[in-house]
């Protein structure tokens, strides 16, 4: 009654405001340009903007206004609402709706009294009421129930929860205090069964949620777990055709005297097993959108099979999911059992009431304090007005998770204002996207005389000012290399998934090169190529030292497509570099003509690349399932007549991941094992009769390829490479830290023709454990590697002695 009076009063105020100063009825039929709320203190205006933005540009009417007002009251945020209709322009062509509101009191503080066994932080995480929320009595009662459930979950089955509030009217806030009487914990000391003849106790205990107290098992008694136990036992029997099997009762024998801190409980499950049934098929009623044949294919059971309740329910769920996936979220789907007790057969009739497809009314973003709404919305494959699609929602979740802007992404689907409308709510929690990194890493040089460690510093902002743009700067300082790189990337150009990036670089390197003082085109001190190949390490002693200075500018672009099966990305990049070498030409003469030319004058060194990738991994930076394929081709040397190098390079990569185990150990941690596979094939082809310089060849670096094989020199370089690895991954902290065990196998050949002679003896193997960090600010891999080769069918350690557990430091860089 009070609400009706308030609404009526609001309508009068609205009418008075509209008619007193402006022409009568001027607002009717005029587009709503903006809806604004004044007086907000704790409620984010962006939250309200998302809720009411669908009304913008719609023509004003009494029905529209009433719908807006109903939504405002449904929020239950305000005690007073004063509406105004204001002309948005001098010609009264547009209307501006303004609501002056007074917020209900906000929650200022949440306190707990009596919680001696559970921390305050854990209790706060168990309730939805947060500091700054608009106070609501119903929410407080819900919080009491949530705390009660939380204590029961922890074994305090007799816990009592109450609350008290105190209001500060001047500050318009409320303090909430929860009073807790924890009581004793209840533990299960023994589980017994009666009436079971088809399954032994061990098999029955295995499916129960309730567990006996053991060395590594607390055995906490939870009342709600008993219902789950009944369901689990029914399902176990149902998987073997015993469709009438059920738990008739669960006896509880409580010993409250033996332990003053605990109630000790013995549970006895009384089971009625019944007869075994076979499957006689399924038919459908009311299905017009999908054929009976199409729906029947969702059931994997065959007529005459022993009935399997789990398989049948999976098929039933797949039928519902087929409708749900195609936007029919409001359908009624039920099943009717048809039983023949004489033949012990059971069949089912699926009853379907088909309704209109559900469309998306609103997409609401919550929790984004930094990231702009449009940055989130553009990654969501669903738009307002679209037919709802479950697969698009799942893929949208993947897109948002892969941005790495948020520590949590939780999508939800709520009923809209009409039966055939739904609201998609995306709840996010921001995390830091800026990173400053300092550390050491391998320089990646194939030259054995180069000290392989370098110091680096990098600053990167992956979500600049919440716009999704990237800005980065990195400095690398090593004994042989000093570099500075500045980069900027726009990930969505012109409102499309089109990226455009640019980077500037300057680098100084100290390098070593083979000499040719006798002008015979063979590395000194050899006279023939066969002599050099037989003892290339001797030539290393005759290498000359020189310095190289390089300036570069690069540009890259890419476009993404989002079909159901994967993300398809097409990328392209072009780099323009100028290079100059410095050495005493009176004393030294490099073997490679390129080095000699780059000493005389500044020379061009350009490249262009194109890459196509197809990505079905669940998370790019820490995948646990899915696959990835990519093909990249590049030309090094855009102007063959004036550049010193001109060659073609191809890189083919493939990944596959499968989850071996995903077992929930606690509410916040799962025991998870993942197996990953990778295979890559790269080759280079020199063009225009030019050679590929040693520092441009494919090589085993010991950090990313052939982990542990460090400083191999010419032995580990060539124009053809085949690289493989297998990794067993055990996430210790999901998305943060993982224990890995790797096995690498990599081979290099001088040219494509040599592939004909590729044998197991050509591979360099390594294995070992490591820690892999997945956080953006610390993407490192710390590994210990053992190297070996196969010689005449027998493994030979890389050092010729035994396992040496070489420490390897590398980056965790996903393939994109």
Interval 757-790: pLDDT, tens: 999 999 999 999 999 998 877 788 999 999 999 9
Among residues 456, 463, 410, which one has the least CA distance to residue 437? 456
> Residues 663, 754: one domain?
yes
> Residues 324, 421: one domain?
no
Among residues 481, 472, 474, which one has the least CA distance to residue 507? 481
Query: Which residues have CB under 8 Å from 347's CB, separation 6+?
Result: 279, 280, 281, 282, 283, 338
Could you report the per-residue pLDDT of 385-410, keeping only the tens digit for each? Answer: 999 988 899 899 999 999 989 988 99
Q: Is residue 788 part of a domain?
A: yes
- Give me the percent of the chain exceeding a pLDDT of 90: 52
Q: Is residue 458 part of a domain?
A: no
> Residues 370, 226: one domain?
no
Q: Check pLDDT > 90 for residue 551.
A: yes
Residue 340, domain extent: 278-353
Could you report the per-residue pLDDT of 363-373, keeping only the tens digit for each? Answer: 999 988 899 99
Point out the domain boundary residue: 103, 124, 156: 103
Per-range mean pLDDT, top range of 14-28, 412-426, 444-458, 760-774: 760-774
Could you report the per-residue pLDDT of 234-247, keeping only the tens digit for each? Answer: 999 999 999 999 99
Query: Which residues have CB under 8 Å from 688's CB, separation 6+?
Result: 640, 646
Per-range mean pLDDT, top range of 35-44, 213-222, 400-409, 574-583: 574-583
The residue-averaged pLDDT of 417-427 equals: 90
Res 726: pLDDT? 98
> Residues 285, 424: one domain?
no
- φ/ψ of 223, rounded to 5, equals -60, -40
What's the CA gap between 258 and 296, in Å, rounded?
57
pLDDT band (50, 70, 90) for residue 3: very low
- φ/ψ of 695, rounded to 5, equals -75, -5
Print burial letters for 735-754: b (CB count within 10 Å at least 16), e (below 16): eebbebebebbbbbbeeeee
Query: Which residues have CB under 8 Å from 121's CB, separation 6+?
Result: none
Q: Is residue 663 part of a domain?
A: yes
Point out the domain boundary residue: 380, 412, 430: 430
553: its two tokens: 């500018």
The residue-averaged pLDDT of 200-208 equals: 93
Per DSSP, the three-state class of 372 is: coil
Per DSSP, the three-state class of 92 is: coil
pLDDT band (50, 70, 90) for residue 456: low
Could you report the per-residue pLDDT of 603-639, keeping only the tens digit for each? Answer: 999 999 999 999 999 989 899 999 999 999 999 998 8
- Distances from the Cα of 681 to the Cαs of 137, 406, 451, 595, in angstroms? 64, 35, 28, 28
pLDDT band (50, 70, 90) for residue 4: very low
Q: Check pLDDT > 80 for residue 322.
A: yes
Q: Is 252 within 8 Å of 267 (Cβ atoms)?
A: yes
What's the CA gap between 776 and 638, in Å, rounded?
35
Could you report the per-residue pLDDT of 663-699, keeping only the tens digit for each? Answer: 877 767 889 999 999 999 999 999 988 888 888 899 9
> Residues 203, 142: one domain?
no
The residue-averaged pLDDT of 102-131 equals: 89
Q: Check pLDDT > 50 for residue 84.
A: yes
What's the CA gap between 498 and 470, in Å, rounded?
14
Q: Is residue 456 part of a domain?
A: no
Angle, helix 390-403 to helix 309-325, in steps of 10 degrees = 80
Considering only residues 90 and 273, tell me which one the structure prediction assigns the higher pLDDT: 273
Q: What is the largest CA-CA distance in the chain?
A: 106
Q: Is residue 442 part of a domain?
A: no
Q: Ramachandran region of residue 684, left (φ > 0), alpha (ψ -120 to 50) or beta?
A: beta
- CATH number of domain containing 166: 3.10.20.310
Q: Check pLDDT > 80 for residue 35.
A: yes
Per DSSP, the three-state class of 154 is: coil
- φ/ψ of 149, rounded to 5, equals -65, -40
What's the CA gap between 158 and 792, in Å, rounded?
71
Percent helix, percent strand, percent coil in the chain, to nearest 5: 20, 45, 35
> Residues 691, 593: one domain?
no
Per DSSP, the three-state class of 47 is: helix
> Residues 631, 768: one domain?
yes
Could you report the per-residue pLDDT of 256-310, keeping only the tens digit for each? Answer: 888 888 889 999 999 999 999 999 999 999 999 999 999 999 999 999 999 999 9
Neighbours of 356 (CB within 10 A): 12
> Residues 657, 796: one domain?
yes
Q: Check pLDDT > 50 for residue 2.
A: no
Res 438: pLDDT? 64
Q: Check pLDDT > 90 for residue 233.
A: yes
The residue-averaged pLDDT of 701-722 equals: 90
Point out the domain boundary residue: 122, 155, 181: 181
286: its two tokens: 């009311």
Res 616: pLDDT? 94
> Residues 629, 767: one domain?
yes
Q: Is residue 150 part of a domain?
A: yes
pLDDT band (50, 70, 90) for residue 437: low
Give how many domains the chain has, as a whole number.
7
pLDDT band (50, 70, 90) for residue 424: very high
The residue-averaged pLDDT of 429-439 equals: 77
Q: Is residue 459 part of a domain?
A: no
Q: Is 429 within 8 Å of 367 (Cβ atoms)?
A: yes
> Residues 333, 284: one domain?
yes
Q: Is residue 436 part of a domain?
A: no
> Residues 170, 243: one domain?
no
The residue-averaged pLDDT of 578-591 equals: 93
> Residues 527, 638: one domain?
no
Angle, helix 2-20 to helix 62-75, in steps of 10 degrees = 130
The residue-averaged pLDDT of 459-473 equals: 91
- Give me the percent of the chain exceeding a pLDDT of 70: 94
């Amino acid at each position: 009654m009070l609400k009706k009076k308030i609404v009526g009063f609001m309508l009068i105020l609205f009418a008075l405001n509209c008619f007193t100063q402006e022409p009568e009825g001027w607002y009717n039929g005029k587009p709503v340009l903006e809806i604004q709320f004044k007086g907000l203190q704790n409620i984010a205006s962006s939250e309200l903007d998302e809720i009411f933005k669908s009304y913008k540009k719609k023509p004003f009417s009494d029905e529209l206004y009433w719908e807006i007002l109903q939504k405002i009251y449904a929020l239950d945020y305000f005690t007073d609402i004063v509406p105004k209709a204001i002309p948005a322009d001098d010609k009264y062509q547009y209307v501006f709706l303004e609501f002056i509101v007074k917020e209900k009191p906000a929650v200022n503080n949440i306190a707990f009294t009596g919680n001696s066994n559970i921390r305050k932080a854990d209790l706060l995480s168990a309730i939805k009421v947060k500091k700054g929320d608009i106070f609501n009595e119903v929410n407080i009662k819900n919080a009491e129930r949530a705390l009660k459930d939380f204590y029961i979950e922890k074994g305090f089955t007799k816990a009592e929860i109450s609350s008290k509030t105190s209001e500060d009217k001047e500050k318009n806030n409320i303090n909430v205090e929860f009073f807790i009487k924890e009581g004793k914990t209840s533990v299960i000391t023994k589980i017994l069964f009666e009436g079971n003849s088809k399954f032994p106790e061990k098999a029955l205990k295995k499916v129960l949620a309730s567990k006996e107290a053991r060395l590594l098992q607390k055995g906490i008694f939870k009342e709600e777990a008993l219902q789950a136990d009944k369901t689990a036992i029914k399902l176990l029997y149902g998987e073997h055709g015993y469709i009438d099997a059920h738990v008739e009762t669960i006896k509880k024998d409580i010993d409250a005297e033996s332990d003053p801190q605990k109630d000790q409980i013995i549970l006895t499950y009384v089971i009625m097993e019944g007869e075994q049934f076979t499957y006689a098929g399924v038919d459908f009623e009311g299905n017009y959108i999908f054929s009976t044949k199409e729906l029947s294919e969702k059931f994997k059971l065959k007529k005459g099979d022993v009935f399997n309740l789990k398989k049948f329910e999976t098929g039933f769920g797949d039928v519902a999911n087929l409708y749900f996936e195609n936007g029919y979220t409001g359908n009624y789907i039920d099943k009717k059992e048809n039983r023949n007790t004489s033949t012990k057969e059971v069949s089912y009739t699926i009853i379907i009431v088909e309704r209109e497809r559900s469309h998306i009314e609103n997409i609401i973003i919550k929790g984004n304090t930094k990231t702009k709404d449009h940055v989130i919305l553009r990654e969501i494959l669903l738009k307002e007005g679209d037919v709802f699609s479950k697969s698009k929602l799942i893929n949208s979740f993947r897109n948002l998770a892969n941005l790495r802007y948020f520590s949590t992404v939780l999508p939800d689907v709520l009923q809209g204002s009409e039966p055939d409308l739904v609201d998609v709510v995306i709840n996010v929690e921001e995390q830091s996207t800026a990173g400053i990194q300092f550390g050491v890493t391998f320089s990646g040089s194939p030259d054995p005389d180069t000290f392989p460690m370098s110091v680096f510093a990098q600053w990167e902002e992956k979500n600049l000012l919440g716009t999704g743009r990237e800005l980065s700067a990195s400095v690398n300082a090593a004994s042989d290399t000093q570099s500075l790189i500045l980069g900027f990337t726009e990930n969505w150009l012109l409102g499309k998934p089109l990226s455009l990036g640019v980077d500037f670089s300057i680098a100084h390197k100290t390098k070593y090169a083979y000499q040719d003082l006798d002008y015979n085109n063979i590395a000194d001190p050899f006279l023939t190529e066969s002599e050099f190949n037989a003892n290339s390490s001797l030539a290393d002693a005759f290498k000359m030292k020189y310095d190289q200075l390089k300036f570069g500018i690069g540009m890259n672009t890419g476009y993404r497509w989002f079909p159901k099966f994967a993300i398809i990305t097409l990328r392209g990049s072009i780099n323009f570099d100028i290079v100059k070498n410095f050495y005493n030409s009176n004393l030294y003469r490099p073997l490679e003509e390129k080095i000699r030319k780059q000493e005389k004058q500044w020379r061009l060194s350009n490249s262009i690349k194109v890459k196509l990738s197809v990505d079905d991994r669940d998370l790019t930076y820490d995948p646990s399932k899915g696959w990835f394929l990519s093909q990249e081709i590049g030309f090094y040397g855009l102007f063959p007549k004036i550049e010193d190098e001109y060659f073609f390079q191809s890189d083919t990569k493939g990944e596959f991941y499968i989850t071996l185990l995903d077992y929930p150990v606690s509410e916040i941690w799962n025991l998870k094992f993942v197996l990953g596979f990778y295979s890559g094939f790269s080759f280079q082809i020199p063009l225009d009769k030019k050679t590929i310089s040693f520092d441009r060849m494919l090589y085993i670096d010991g950090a990313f390829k052939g982990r542990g094989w460090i400083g191999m020199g010419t032995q580990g370089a060539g124009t053809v490479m085949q690289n493989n690895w297998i990794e067993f991954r055990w996430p210790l902290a999901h998305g943060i830290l993982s224990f890995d065990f790797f096995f690498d196998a990599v081979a290099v050949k001088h040219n494509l023709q040599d592939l004909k002679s590729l044998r197991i003896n050509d591979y360099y193997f390594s294995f070992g454990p490591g820690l892999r960090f997945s956080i953006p600010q610390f993407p490192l891999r710390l590994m210990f590697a053992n190297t070996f080769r196969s010689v005449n069918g027998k493994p030979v350690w890389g050092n010729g002695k035994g396992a040496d557990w070489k420490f390897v430091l590398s980056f965790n860089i996903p393939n994109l």
